[in-house]
Structure formats: C-alpha cells, structure tokens
Amino acid sequence: MDLFLKDIKDVNNENRQYAQKRKIVALLNKSVEPLTIPDICKKVKLSVPTGTRLINELIEKNIIIESGKKETDNGRRPSSYKTDSNYAFCVGVVVQLKSVYVSIFNLAMDEIFRNEDQSFILENSPESLERVIQFITDTISQSGVDTSHILGVGVGITGRVNTRTGNSYNYFNFLDNSLTSYLSDRLSLSVYIDNDTHVLGLAEQVFGYARDVKNALVVNLSRGLGMALITNGELVIGEQGFAGEFGHMQLGESDKLCLCGKRGCLGTEVSGYALEQNFQEQVHAGESSLLLNVKELDSVHYEDIIRAAWNGDALSISLVHGMGFKIGKALGNMINLLNPGVIIIGGNFASAREVLIDSIKSGMTHTALSLPLRNCELIFSSIGDAAVRGAGAIVLRRMQLI
Amino acid sequence: MDLFLKDIKDVNNENRQYAQKRKIVALLNKSVEPLTIPDICKKVKLSVPTGTRLINELIEKNIIIESGKKETDNGRRPSSYKTDSNYAFCVGVVVQLKSVYVSIFNLAMDEIFRNEDQSFILENSPESLERVIQFITDTISQSGVDTSHILGVGVGITGRVNTRTGNSYNYFNFLDNSLTSYLSDRLSLSVYIDNDTHVLGLAEQVFGYARDVKNALVVNLSRGLGMALITNGELVIGEQGFAGEFGHMQLGESDKLCLCGKRGCLGTEVSGYALEQNFQEQVHAGESSLLLNVKELDSVHYEDIIRAAWNGDALSISLVHGMGFKIGKALGNMINLLNPGVIIIGGNFASAREVLIDSIKSGMTHTALSLPLRNCELIFSSIGDAAVRGAGAIVLRRMQLI
DNA sequence: TTTAGTTAGTAAAAAAAATTATAAACTTGC
DNA sequence: GCAAGTTTATAATTTTTTTTACTAACTAAA
C-alpha cells in the first residue's frame, strides 16, 4: 500500500520512481486489454530496460501481474501485463434525493460488492447524514474487504459542491468543518467529494464513450438536469467546482418558477420532474392517457411516462418529444459553444433512446451551426452504474492511478 | 535556431534536453520578472546542478541572459535570468473584415515592429489573399529582421477555422490544399492559424487577466460576437477548432435573421453590427439623437454610438444599456455552465467599460446562480493589441516556448 | 567584530537512466 | 529445413542526473 500513499509534492528520486510506477498502473487501468513492455515504455516515455525494471518491481509487490503472451504478426511474442485487481480497493458512494448507492471496486475498477438503499430520503439533517455513514460502514464490513487495503472513498452528491474545499452547500451543510473532513474522521479513510453530475462525467470519460474524444458533453438527465463538460481531455469542474449547471440556463423556453428562485430555467421544462408536472397539467386540462388506466394521476412517475411513450400513449409521446426538442435546442447551443466530438445522454433517461433521439436531433438542427453539428455524435450512455462507478473513480483519479 | 527546430516526437536523450531547455525558456517568457536558478529548478522539477548546466548552455547560445543580482532578505544573493529578446522572432497576423494587422515580436513577446492596413476589405478571393501575403512580406522586410531568425507566422482570421488541418472555411477557402500550407509555401515560413476570437483568448491567457486563473471567459465583442473559453488553464478550441460561437447561441432574445441563416442568434442583438442596426431602426421610428447633428444616419458607426452614450445621448445610452443587459444574461448562463473565475470583455468594446459594466452585471444577476456569480469577476481587457499579440503567441505556444 | 544562521552555486560521488550490443523467440520465403 | 528478417528482453556500457559535501556570499545578533 505504501506505493500510493507517499507524499507526491517533493521532487526527488524516490517520488519520481513512484510517479512513474503510478503512470504505469494508470495506463494499465485505462486499457481494456493487457499491455506489453514495449507498449508501456512508449506510452510513459521510458526506455525498455528501465520500464522492465519498474514493471518487475510492481509485479514483486503484487500490484500488476503477467497475463500470458500476446499474438503478433512476427517477431518474438511479448508478455502482456495487467493490474492485479486484489491489491487495493476504492469505495464509490452516490447520494441522490431518494436513494444511496455504495459500491466497492478493485484496482481494475471491477465492482466486487454493491449495496443500495432505495428507501433513503435525502434531507439536510444530521440523521440523514448518519444514515449515509452507517450505510457506508455496513457495506464495507459486509464486503469483507480489509479497511487497510481501501485507498479511499469517493462521494457523489446532488447539489452544489466545492471539490477543492470539500464543502457541500445544499445538503449536509450544518457541519463545523467540511463534509469531506467530517466523513474522513468518521470513516477513518480518505474521502473525496464531487457533485453527482461531475461523477457521471468522470465515468463516461474514463470508461464510456468520451474515452477516445478530447471534447465531450455528458448530460445528466434524471429527476433534475445537469451537464458534465469535458474539454481538452479533462473534466471541467470550474473555479470552485460549480460548473455544469445546465438545468439553470435560461433559454427563453419557459417562465416557470424554479427551485433556485429564478424563472425560466431549462430544468423547469426539461427534467423528470418537469415531465411529471407537465403530465399532470395536461390531464387537468382535459387530455387523456392510457397511463391513467393503471395508475393514479399523482403517483405517475416520469419513468412511467417514458414507458408509456414507448408503448404508444399519445399524450406521453407528445410530452417526451416536446422535452426532447427543447433539450436538443439547448444542446445545439452547446455545440456552437464547445464543438464537442460526442454528446452522451446519461442519467435515468439514458435508456429512453428510442423515444428521445429523433426529437433531440431535430432540436439540435434548430440552433447548431452545420459544421460543428456535422462533427458531433449523439449517444445514449450504456454504463448502467455510471454514477457510482464514477464516484469510485474519483479516488483513483486523485491518486493518479487512472 | 536549431534548438527550437528539432523533431520533438522522438523521445531520446537529446530531445529530452531540448524539451527541458524549452521549458526553461517558456518559464522565463511567462514570468514578468527575471528568475533565479533555484526558482527555475523548482518550477521545471530539476536539480540545481542540472538546471545550472542547462541555463549556462542557453546563455552560451545567447537565448537567455543574466539580469543582475536579486535583492533577498538573507543569504547569498542569487543571479537572475531572462530571455535574450533578440535571439528569435515571431510574426502575428490578424485578418479582420476591414483591416489587416501584422506585428513582429521577439522571444520575450515585445513588439518590435508593427504595420496595419485599414483600407483592406476582406473578400473570399485570390486577390484579397494576395494582398494579405504582400502585406506580410512587406512588413517583414521593412522590419529588417532576418527571415532565418523568424520561428513562424501566427494568423488569426475571422470565421470558422480548423486549427488542426489549417483550413479556413469562410474566407480563402478556394485553395487546393489548406490555407496554412499555401501560406507556408508562399512565405517560406511555418504558418499556424486560428480564428480571431481564439487568438484574443490566447492573448488574455498568456498576458492578460486570465493568467492567474484556471477558468476564464474572454468575450470578443466588436462588429461580431465570439467567445474564447479557458478551462483547466487551457484554451478550448473544440474537436475541430470551431468552439466559441457565442454569437450564434439562441437565447430567445430576438427573432432576427442572422448571417448564418438561422433566426434569433445572440449576435443579432449583441454586437457592433446590431447596435448600428438598432440605432437606425429607432431613428426611423422617430427617436432623436445628438449624433445626427454631426453625422449622417447611414455613416454612424457603432463606436460613435458608444462615444455618444458616454457623452449622455439618451438614445445611445438606452441602446448600449439594452445590449449590455442582454449580453449580461447570456454571460450569466455561461457562469452557471462553467464557473469561471473571471470574465474578460475584449474586442473593440473593451474600452466601453463605463457605459457597459453596470448593465452587464445587472443582466448577469438575472440568470446566474448566486454561488458561482459571487466568485466571478467582470473585467474589461487592457491589452490594446490583444489580437495580434495572441496571433504571434500561437507560434511560441506551438513551439512550447510560452 | 565575531559567530551563528541562511541561501546560492560548484565539485565530487553515487544513483538512475538511456544507449548499445546481444541472445532468444518468432515468421516468412526459398 | 534453413537463412533472412522482426520483435522482445536482458546484459554491458555509457550518459545523464541526482545526491551529498562543501565553499561563497550574505544578514543579524551577541
């Protein structure tokens, strides 16, 4: 474990070698396939002899392992290497309005244990925080992973979060010092925090469709609306960590009052919450829906509406398409601004590809300039547990292991 | 000159040392004051003996020079060093709709010669391109700088530009191969290209208020409207180099037809061109203005309107304030999205601080969330020749000398 | 004025890395 | 089946860099 815990600020021979070893581990973690010595040396800019030496030292410490010979066209077959998954672990935590997810990952970011609490209700209270802490400690002990092998805990939480100071502004803001230092004390582990949308973006950047692209947008479309921006291959969190408040952009689409206190925020028209509100409004205005045959009006969830749209319910289709068109126009603006190579729709709407994609694309053509639009792909996320995976990835990212 | 021209792709001992020397030169270029050996070694992560050796080699080649002893509180006084300005030069070119600017800078980015052609009219024709080329070669020969000492030419041009391929899409798009390779052939110099807004952003990032901040926005507000984004300390050009089309965002402020073919682009309400149009409209609708005492209506330039607003002309004030409020609302959206530490108003409106700042700030409060707004400064650029300086900086940036 | 403390820079020694040479493991073509 | 060509990986050599030790140049306080 010492390898990853050294102070990396001092520049001396020892830390330089640790940094190079971390680079090798990170490279292996990022790669889907095992890599050979020549591959690794080329990527981390080391000569083959030194690269070999470092790799052998990493093998000796059980941090990486050999993974058989690689088939090549000609020449001697090289041995290939991958991270030894059971050397160290990290914990990913996602705190949402109505649920908590905790997963434990190994060095290769394979999920080795998961737990979710769907009866949780997020409140800005010590009791609510206590429940989260209890859930994390319970999950860790259930997993059977030795705490001394856990590198840290990454937490993704709804609302505004200052990544650098570790403060959470919307929830758990009653503490004397930062949320991270409190959690760190209580869990006896390093804790890193970010907002749920950034965490989703990190997952897509490290494991998803944004992997091979330097500029991408990841939309977090669930009950609320947020956006993670990736520019020059790096996640944008902004000066204090508040970047990505896509849902509070005002594009003249609406005049509804938003939870933030302002009027006309995009999230009041584009979000799971907005979809439910609009559904209720339309029904009250006399529209009919097949959904009402199986559910009471005030228990209709936005995911029901998506499903109904998929099954042909006219009202649901019109609402979902309307929402798709509006977010498409907003995304067209973003294309003009950032010229991304790919836009990924993540969050709970990621599975609504069929009922959303055409209306989003149609909205995009209304605002995006043709040149950047032509070069931008629209994709729906395929990482099921993206958020919690991204939360775990914060730890490895901070330790320069991914 | 050989120092900067080596192929930097191959990783070997020789190029590694060249890279370290470039790092030292870049560090000295970025710093306002001369730096000492301990300073330099700390920043480029080298031991003092090796750092000293490289610095002495750079001195021997007349690339850097000593600059006296530095006053310190205690201990032996260190010698300080700065770049020797006359070792190498770069050329900055800015091609605008009605003017061409060419400046020659030394290694320290001091302007040593400048030329401007205010009678130029940009057209997508071989003749127009020929005039630009002639103007560049004339300027270089007038400056008396030996061509063999010129590292390259950086060009900033209006319109969409693919920085990587070197293609310009709106102007000079009639060539068989890219604009950069054509210019490179004609000038017998390395040529780098980017759009005028990115070039402005680069200038602010390297020399201006965005220097000490990792996240910033630079608004290019002149006849047109654009924006350069700086995130994580790097200029965002996007996947093909089209990022920053702020003027083509649609925020529901207008329904006017834009040059891009769409309706309601922000640039149709916020830009020098829009200001002139609105002025004419208002006068035709019966409004009066002091400006008409000294100028014919159709010769009123947007800079006249700014000046009139400054002098108290009611119509001009109302138009400028209206524009400021609208751009403020748009910038508020950008604050939500990117959480910048500073927003810099550049371009020809940079000098209109007094008549613009309050209405912009007022607009911002309408859209921006309080937390990121509180942490964002609004500043007007003070770099007079920002664009052409940024164009020159492209060359040094590409050569990793800044 | 002397002495203790601090920082800068150089010289010598030690460590680390790259380069070069070479052996091993493979393919392909004759 | 064997020679020629390729690639991997290790051993020996050389280069580069860091580390350590030391001198130089300064301040401040006794």
Per-residue pLDDT of chain B (402 residues; tens, 9 = 90+): 555 555 556 778 888 999 999 999 999 999 989 999 999 999 999 999 999 999 999 999 999 999 989 988 888 999 999 998 888 999 999 999 889 999 999 999 999 999 999 999 999 999 999 999 999 999 999 999 999 999 999 999 998 899 999 999 999 999 999 999 999 999 999 999 999 999 999 999 999 999 999 999 999 999 999 999 999 999 999 999 999 999 999 998 888 999 888 999 999 999 999 999 999 999 999 998 888 988 888 889 999 999 999 999 999 999 999 999 999 999 999 999 999 999 999 999 999 999 999 999 999 999 999 999 999 999 999 988 899 999 999 999 999 999
Q: B104 has which bridge partners?
A: B91, B113
Using a CB-CB cut-off of 8 Å, the residues of chain B touching A244 are 337
With an 8 Å Cβ cutoff, is A1 touching chain B?
A: no
With an 8 Å Cβ cutoff, is A165 touching chain B?
A: no
State residue A393's pLDDT score: 97
Beta carbons within 8 Å of B384's beta carbon, 6+ residues apart: none
Chain A's closest residue to B259, CA to CA, is A369
With an 8 Å Cβ cutoff, is B214 touching chain A?
A: yes
Other beta carbons less than 10 A from residue B182's beta carbon:
17
CA distances from B130 to A58, A255, B85, B127 (A): 60, 53, 31, 5
Distance B75 CA to D25 C1' (A): 7
State residue B7's pLDDT score: 53
CB contact under 8 A, A239 and B340: yes
DSSP secondary structure string, A219-239?
EEESSSEEEEEEETTEEE--S
Distance B105 CA to C21 C1' (A): 49
3-state secondary structure of A24: helix
Cα A379–A381–A382 angle (5° rounding)? 120
* Residues 352-381 (B) with a CB less than 8 A from some CB of A: 366-367, 369, 371-372, 375-376
Cα distance from B246 to chain A (closest Cα, Å)? 6
State residue B153's pLDDT score: 98
Ordered alpha helix ranges (H), A291-402: 302-310, 314-338, 353-367, 370-374, 386-398
CB contact under 8 A, A338 and B366: no
Q: Do the Cβ atoms of A358 and A324 come closer than 8 Å? A: yes
Nearest nt (C1') to B47 (CA)? D18
Beta-strand relationship, B216-221 and B225-231: antiparallel
Distance B74 CA to D30 C1' (A): 18
CB contact under 8 A, A238 and B246: no
State residue B24's pLDDT score: 96
State residue B259's pLDDT score: 87
CA distances from A377 to A210, A334, B138 (A): 11, 13, 45
| Parts of chain A with a pLDDT under 70 | 1-9
Distance B139 CA to C24 C1' (A): 62
With an 8 Å Cβ cutoff, is B329 touching chain A?
A: yes
DSSP code at position B348: G
Cα distance from A304 to chain B (closest Cα, Å)? 30
With an 8 Å Cβ cutoff, is B250 touching chain A?
A: yes
Please name the member of A214, A231, A242 whose beta carbon is closest to the beta carbon of B372.
A242
State residue B384's pLDDT score: 81
**For D6, which residue's CA is nearest its C1'?**
A75
**Rounded Cα distance, A245 and A267, in Å:** 10
Chain A's closest residue to B226, CA to CA, is A337
State residue A14's pLDDT score: 87
Using a CB-CB cut-off of 8 Å, the residues of chain A touching B229 are 231, 337-338
Distance A19 CA to C19 C1' (A): 23
Could you check: is the Cβ of residue A16 within 7 Å of any atom of nucleic acid strand C? Answer: yes
State residue B200's pLDDT score: 97
Cα distance from B339 to chain A (closest Cα, Å)? 5
State residue B146's pLDDT score: 94
Distance A276 CA to D22 C1' (A): 78
Could you check: is the Cβ of residue B372 within 7 Å of any atom of nucleic acid strand C? Answer: no
Chain B's closest residue to A338, CA to CA, is B243
Other beta carbons less than 10 A from residue A289's beta carbon:
20
Give the residue from A231, A259, A344 with the most B CB atoms within 10 Å of its CB, the best one to mutate: A231
Residues by CB within 7 Å of nucleic chain D, which ones?
A: A 12-14, 36-38, 48-49, 52, 72, 74-79; B 13-14, 16-17, 20, 45-51, 53, 69, 73-77
Nearest nt (C1') to B11 (CA)? C18
Using a CB-CB cut-off of 8 Å, the residues of chain B touching A245 are 336-337, 369, 372
**Rounded Cα distance, B251 and B265, in Å:** 7
CB contact under 8 A, A238 and B215: yes
Distance A85 CA to C14 C1' (A): 37
**Rounded Cα distance, B309 and B355, in Å:** 7
State residue A75's pLDDT score: 87
How many Cβ contacts (< 8 angstroms) between chains A and B?
Answer: 149
Other beta carbons less than 10 A from residue A233's beta carbon:
14
Residues A42-81 have pLDDT tens digits of 999 999 999 999 999 999 999 999 998 998 888 899 999 9
CB contact under 8 A, B248 and A213: no
State pTM to two decimals: 0.93
Q: Do the Cβ atoms of B204 and B191 come closer than 8 Å? A: no
CB contact under 8 A, B249 and A333: yes
Residue carrying the six token digits 């792709």: B9
Using a CB-CB cut-off of 8 Å, the residues of chain B touching A333 are 249-251
Residues A336-358 have pLDDT tens digits of 999 999 999 999 999 999 999 99
Other beta carbons less than 10 A from residue B45's beta carbon:
11
Distance B165 CA to C5 C1' (A): 59
**Rounded Cα distance, B248 and B330, in Å:** 11
CB contact under 8 A, B234 and A232: yes
Nearest nt (C1') to B50 (CA)? D17
State residue A4's pLDDT score: 53
Cα distance from A365 to chain B (closest Cα, Å)? 10
Distance A38 CA to D6 C1' (A): 14
Could you check: is the Cβ of residue A71 within 7 Å of any atom of nucleic acid strand C? Answer: no
DSSP secondary structure string, A106-167?
ETT--EEEEEEETT----SSHHHHHHHHHHHHHHHHHHT--GGGEEEEEEEESS-EETTTTE
**Rounded Cα distance, B340 and A234, in Å:** 16
